[in-house]
Amino acid sequence: MIATLLYEFRMQIRKRSVWIVPALTLVLFVLIGGSLLRDLFDPAERPPEARLAVVGLAVQIHALLSIGFGCLLADRLVRDDRLRVAPILDATPASPGARLVGKYLGAGAATAVPIAVAFFGFATAYAGSSGSWSALPWALAVFGAVMVPGLLFVAAFALTVPLIMPAPLFRVLFVGYWLWGNVVTPDLMPTLSRTVLNPLGGYPMAALFDFAGIDGDDQWAGPFPGATLNFLRPEPTPLIAWLSIALLLVLAAAALTGGHLARLAERTRS
Amino acid sequence: MLGPPIAVAVGVLAAVANPVPSDTNTARVLIGALEMALPLTAGVACASLVGRDPAVEIQLAVPTPYRETLLRRTVVTLGWAALVAALTAAVLIATGWWARWPDNHGVIAGQLTWAAPTLALGGLGLAAAAVSRSPGAAGALVTTVWAIQQFFAGLAQQHLPGRMLYLFATTRGADPADWTANRLTLIAVAVALVALALVVLGRSERLISEDDE
Amino acid sequence: MRIEIAGLTKTFRGGVAALDGLDLTVPTGMFGLLGANGAGKTTLMRILAGIARPTAGRVTVGGHDLATTAGRHAVQRGLGYLPQDLGVYPDLTARQFLDYVALLKGLDDPTVRRRRVGELLEVVALTGQANRRLRGFSGGMRQRVGIAQALLADPRLLIVDEPTAGLDPEERIRFRTLLSQFAGDRTVLLSTHIVDDIAQTCREVAVLSRGRLAFRGTVESLTREAAGRVWSLTTAGPPPPDGTVVSALPAAEGGMRYRIVAATAPGPTAQPLEPALEDGYLTVAAPERSALNA
Ligand SMILES: Nc1ncnc2c1ncn2[C@@H]1O[C@H](COP(=O)(O)OP(=O)(O)O)[C@@H](O)[C@H]1O
Ligand SMILES: [Mg+2]
């Protein structure tokens, strides 16, 4: 599994598109306004605390770059069959399950590297310009508690869902889901956003980082008056936040297991 | 091929599930499906046209230029999306939902609601695919552009170039007066992107080496 | 159709020179191109098919200059090409696939096209499977679809790149017979690393080695290149260090009987043998080794 992981990492990180897509995304983001980025470096506009600045940065980077992340990973698994390496790999003693996990972690980590580079790059720049070096430990904490679980969740579905539908269709549905399940506010339509199932990490942000938007007037977790699915929005406490993270990881594992079983079934059929 | 009908179905579903049941809002969601969901599917479909052709060597060795073949595939893809969109629009017009959105820009010119963003995202997908030869990267770019304009609807339209390039000017537009110019700009951009794609695709050699994976 | 190649060089990114100043003339008829894997055969074929562009040098096919768009177009109108890595559309049936390629080759009249596709399915003995999807085709069947596709527009120039790799012996024999019958007054360029295929079909042959021309002449003269260099040696010990071992058989009297290509007798008990085409190929394709031996 470790070997698979390392090779998948190497193959993926060498792809130019893994770097170009996030880079272009950031360029677009900055062109369109990227008001938060500008605010971060403006002493008059920047949020009072390094913690708020860093979590706000994480939200934007995470929400934007995860889309490319999911799309780029979407054909990793079906590619083996297309490149006709699957029979070679199947004939090796490495168990298919371990190989799947290795591919998942390796390719996922490699695709996440540019995201981490962007995030920590901005965080460091912010720390330098504002002089609040406490931003860096906060950045590490947010990355681990909010971004990593979200990316693990996305990667699991991006790898396995294209086994049952064409990858382009998955990309469309994925971005639709991402918008609906993360950005749409619950008073607009029934949505999974702001629930414990939110891959953007509303609960950890609210409960572990005491974050309510850069200006303090957003609600990232907890029951929404009048919204449906409020049973998935308990009051945010640290325990619930950890549960939310665990839930994302469990769902990711379930997706991988499902994909693994689907592949085995396919193998025995053909 | 499934994409456009699914996009419309999602739109209808969203309209039905709408918790703010004002007619205007429902009409907006329905027209929004034409302006947002459908162009997205068309764009991602166009992004998947280059780079994974198993018979590419045969295609390159026949007298019919491969880019002509790809252009034909693009036309089929976009034509299918257009057919679904036109039928949906016809149903919306016949049932009166079209008129319930105040910024509908009429029955005829109003069709630019879906035509302009469909062409723009289709052109973007094709150009990105031609340059990268990777449906993954091209699809990622299309979905990202689409999503950024969704996330930052206000910011994207703050300045003039952004307002002209905004994909959802009918249902989330900042200034209805700019609508016609916006639609025409998007179509012009689409034409430019397709031209770029055709130039890049003329260099056949790049197409036989596997995309950069 | 005559192919004239002068000073042809193809350098890939990273500095790999797949073709290195190649000069070659290919006449009408069946012509064999031999070379080890990586010798540059596929690169040459792709350039001739108008798919890849040379880095330097001049190529004309039937008088058309491949450096111009018009020239490439003219060549492609009379070209049949069977790529080494034949890919097909798995969701199409054999008949649909051929019909599609025929369209791309400009056979616009539907009745003519249908007739032509039917004829070729007959030629490659796939009429029975014509309406099955290509997804389920075996390697040999796929290759037959490939050759049918190449022959569709009755090409003046047929380029086939290692077509017999992966075929069973009967399929191979049928395949190369088909090619010889087809050749006639057309040009058929057959690239392979299987010497036997050339021996059975071509009068003339070129050998590529590391992007350069190592030999050009008739099959007989290639065989003669090995005259006086082929030996039989029976020994219980290891094979002699210099020379190329062509075959090794357990001898009836014990030990091994080796067939060796070497400039000088590899041992006092070595017996000279009549050269075969394979010996000639080994002589010219491995010049640095032969030079070492000499
Ligand atoms: N697209 C390519 N990029 C880089 N090098 C290549 C490419 N195609 C072929 N080569 C190199 O060119 C040489 C000749 O390859 P090829 O023409 O495929 O040989 P052959 O068909 O005789 O086996 C090889 O060393 C190969 O590695
Ligand atoms: Mg080859």
**pLDDT > 80? residue A23:** yes
Greater model confidence, A31 or A214: A31
Does the pLDDT value for residue B12 go beyond 70? no
- Counting one residue from chain B and one from chain C, the pairs whose CB atoms sit within 8 A come to 59
* Distance between CA atoms of residues C40 and C100, nearest Å: 30
C-alpha A37/C-alpha A60 separation (Å) is: 9
Q: How large is the average pLDDT for residues B9-20?
A: 61
- Output phi, psi for C8, to 5 deg: -75, 125
pLDDT of B206 reads 77
Residue B213: the pLDDT is 41
ipTM above 0.90, yes or no: no
What average pLDDT does this structure show over A130-144? 89
C-alpha to C-alpha distances, C165 to A82, C168, C276, nearest whole angstrom: 21, 9, 22
> Is the pLDDT assigned to residue B2 strictly greater than 70?
no
| Residue C289 confidence (pLDDT) above 60 | no
Q: Which tens digit of pLDDT belongs to each residue from B81-106?
A: 898 888 888 888 888 878 777 777 77
Radius of gyration, CA atoms only, chain C: 21
Q: How many CA atoms lie within 13 A of A79 on its CB side?
A: 22
The widest CA-to-CA distance across chain A, in whole angstroms, is: 65
Looking up tokens 């014509």 gives C130
Which residue from B48, B144, B150 is facing A168, i.e. has the nearest CB? Answer: B48
Q: Give yes or no for residue C39 CB within 6 A of ligand 1.
A: yes
Minimum CA–CA partner of B1 in chain A: A169
CA C202 to centroid of ligand 1, rounded, Å: 25
Instruction: Count contacts between A and B (CB, < 8 Å).
Output: 117
Give the mean pLDDT of C158-165. 88
d(CA B31, CA C132): 43
Q: Work out the pLDDT band at B18, boundaries 50, 70, 90.
A: low
Mean pLDDT of chain C: 88
Report strand pairing: C230-235 vs C79-82: unpaired
C neighbours by CB contacts (3+ pairs under 8 Å): B
- Predicted local distance difference test score (pLDDT) of residue A5: 83
Does C90 contact B at CB distance below 8 Å? Answer: yes
C160 close to C150: Cβ distance less than 8 angstroms: yes
Least confident of A172-176, B22-26, C30-34: B22-26
Which H/E stretch holds residue C245? Answer: strand C244-250
Distance CA A45, CA A254 (A): 43
> What is the rounded (10 degree) CA torsion for C26, C29, C32, C38?
50
Between A9-23, A32-46, B4-18, the lowest mean confidence (pLDDT) is in: B4-18
Q: For chain B, give the percent of residues with pLDDT over 70.
A: 86
CA neighbours closer than 13 Å in the CB half-sphere of residue A5 = 8
pLDDT at residue A270 above 60? no
- Ligand number nearest to the C-alpha of C15: 1
**Consecutive H or E run containing C33:** strand C29-35
What is the DSSP track for A93-110? SS-HHHHHHHHHHHHHHH
**pLDDT, tens digit, for every residue of C89-133?**
888 899 999 999 998 888 889 999 999 999 999 988 899 999 999
Handedness of CA A47, A52, A54, A56 (dihedral sign): negative
* C12 in contact with ligand 1, CB cutoff 6 A: yes
Enter the DSSP assignment of C67: T
Q: Which residues lie near ion ligand 2 (Cβ < 5 Å)?
A: C 41-42, 84
> Of all atoms in ligand 1, which is nearest to the CA of residue C46?
17
Q: State yes or no: pLDDT of B205 exceeds 70.
A: yes
Mean pLDDT, chain A, rounded, equals 84
Confidence of residue B211 (pLDDT cuts 50, 70, 90): very low
Provide the angle, in degrees to the nearest 10, between the axes of the packed helices C139-151 and C110-123: 140
**B166 to chain C, closest Cα gap in Å:** 38
Neighbours, chain A (3 or more CB pairs < 8 A): B
Residue C142 makes CB contacts below 8 A (sequence gap 6+) with C86, C88, C134
Give the pLDDT score at A89.
Answer: 64
Q: Which residue of A has its CA nearest to B133?
A: A17
Measured distance CA(B7)–CA(B3) in Å, rounded: 6
Q: pLDDT per residue over C250-272, tens digit each?
A: 888 788 888 888 888 888 888 88
Q: How far apart are CA B59 and CA C27, in angstroms?
A: 26
DSSP 8-state assignment for residue A182: I
| From B165-174, C63-72, C140-149, the region with the lowest mean pLDDT | B165-174
Q: Please state, in angstroms and as integers, the Cα–Cα distance from residue C98 to each residue in C83, C113, C135, C182, C236, following that order.
A: 15, 9, 15, 19, 56
Judged against a pLDDT cut of 50, whether residue B170 lies above it is answered with: yes
Give the chain B residue nearest C77 (alpha carbons). B63
**Sequence spans of domains, chain A:** 2-269
Of the two residues C78 and C236, the one the predictor is more confident about is C78
The answer, yes or no, to whether residue B193 has pLDDT greater than 60, is yes
Kindly list the strands in the beta sheet with C79-82, ordered across the sheet, starting from the edge strand earlier in the chain: C79-82, C157-161, C187-192, C29-35, C204-209, C212-218
Does position B212 have pLDDT exceeding 60, yes or no?
A: no
Which tens digits make up the pLDDT trace of C204-246?
A: 999 999 899 999 999 999 988 888 888 888 888 787 777 888 8
- CATH class of the domain whose range is C3-218: alpha beta
- C-alpha C278/C-alpha C198 separation (Å) is 10
pLDDT band of C291, cuts 50, 70, 90? very low
**Under 8 Å between Cβ of B112 and B183:** yes
Cβ–Cβ < 8 Å for C75, B60:
no
Q: Is the CB of C11 under 6 A from ligand 1?
A: no
| Bridge partner residues of C68 (DSSP) | none
Hey, what are C63's tokens?
Answer: 């008088």
Contact between A180 and A193 (Cβ < 8 Å): yes
Q: What is the pLDDT of residues A69-125, one digit of tens each?
A: 999 898 888 776 665 666 666 666 667 788 888 889 999 999 999 999 999 999 999
**CB atoms near residue A41 (< 10 Å):** 14
Nearest CA to ligand 1 atom 1: B209
Q: How many CB atoms lie within 10 A of CB B117?
A: 30
As a 3-state breakdown, chain B gives helix, strand, coil percent values, each rounded to 5, of 75, 0, 25
* Percent helix / strand / coil, chain A, rounded to 5: 70, 0, 30
Q: Is C67 on the interface with B (CB under 8 A)?
A: no
pLDDT for residue B11: 63
Q: Is the pTM of this model over 0.80?
A: yes
Q: Which atom of ligand 1 is nearest to the CA of C44?
A: 17
- Which residues of B are less than 8 Å from A178 in CB distance? 147
How confident is the model at residue B192, as a pLDDT? 96
**Do C57 and C49 contact (CB within 8 A), yes or no?**
no
Measure the CA–CA gap between A262 and A97, rounded to whole angstroms. 12
Best residue for ligand 1 mutational test, from C8, C13, C16 (most atoms within 8 Å of Cβ): C16
Enumerate the domain spans of chain C.
3-218, 225-290
The whole-number average pLDDT for the span B5-26 is 64
